[in-house]
Amino acid sequence: MDISVTIKNPFGHIKAITSKSYAHRHLICSVLSDAPNFIGITDSSDDIDATIQCLNALGADIVHIENGFSVKPIKTVTKDAMLDCNESGSTFRFLLPITCALGAESSFIMKPGLAYRPITPLYRQLADKGCNLSPEGSIPFNTKGQLKNGIFELAGNVSSQYITGLLLSLPLLKNSSSIILTSPLESSGYVDITIDVLSKYDVEIKRIENGFIIPGNARYHSSGKADVEKDWSNAAFFLCAGALSEKGVTVEGLNTASYQKDRIVLDILKKMGANVSVQSNFITVKRNRLSATDIDASEIPDLVPIISLIASVSEGTTCIFNAKRLRIKESDRLSSTCDMLKKLGASIEERKDSLVIKGKSILDGGIVYSHNDHRIAMTAAIASIVTKDTVTIKDAQAVNKSYPAFFNDFVKIGGITERIK
């Protein structure tokens, strides 16, 4: 699906959607619990649907009801379950160690793009602890054997999803385990979210200087109802739209004390000169004189595309650094961000682990490719605020991965969309 978009002088109010990060974790903890649960997920997506499908295939009973999902835990693990992860890296990397901890002989299927994304560090740890796995990149990817407790060593600067997968699965083993980080932890906010959600199910993770201690034989306890907070990473697109708007854009429902590191978008926008107003449950951002700044991307990889757009129309030169891990996202996100913005007329240079962006007063517009990456597609749409011509986004359906209603909300703030095919 290709879409032509334009928007000038955006103005309006949208409600933030459910946090995908929190939703994945609540769903997984609920199916491992001792009693049914209601999870208040008001907005689903392709990734969340993939996790639900996989958990149901393992023996859970998750049903969509008004304002969320009814979850009945796994009582008996399904033998030879087929788990379709679609394109969800979180689904695959979280459930792979869980199926091993459950001793489930399962087959994971997925889109080729996900199979190509590396899992080597996690793969080695699981294989060393009793799991018989298909070669990396296989479709289907089969698991056999029983995960054993012990010491798991992982680099902290590769993917926090490996750490989360182990934190969710190791409490299922009879004895305690530890995760030792061999390098400083990046994207720590995602690990904080995991530990926060686990604590809500009475599973307590102990932090140590270079890692974590995970209790064995833990009992996941359901309280019967779980509210899921709203998503900062997707709200960031509309907060940044506000930074390009004279009238401003308001986003409702975000938790300013969230463990989600992407809340830092407000600090970045303030530093770059935007007017930011926080009043109770509402955040409004308006344009002011925007200036370049240097940005460390190690904790906020998902913000890089949209912040790069803001930098493209800010005075001065912005450097976004410590961004190496963006190369193993849905696309090589350093390359795809650079390609998309260059095609729109931005002055941007891709380096080994950074982007250097020289600000201009206005961009050109034109045809861009989503690279099958939801964050590239959404950034391109917001870019039409500051382009002379319309923006046509090829494969714009990529937004369905995390934000199926994105273009509906885009229209709410004044956007015009036309489906090309």
- Residues acting as catalytic residues: 302
* Inter-CA distances, 338 with 116, 266, 312, 401, Å: 22, 23, 11, 21
Give burial (CB, 10 Å; 0-12/13-18/19+) of 109.
middle
Q: Between the CA atoms of 190, 309, 256 and 330, what dihedral angle is there, to the nearest 10 degrees? A: -20
- Residue 172: what are its φ and ψ, rounded to 5°? -75, -15
Q: Which contiguous run of DSSP H or E holds residue 407?
A: helix 406-412
d(CA 376, CA 374): 6
Reading phi first (left if > 0) and then psi (alpha if -120 to 50, else beta), residue 344 is in alpha
Which residues lie closer than 8 Å to 38 by C-beta, 6 or more apart? 65, 68, 69, 70, 71, 224, 225, 226
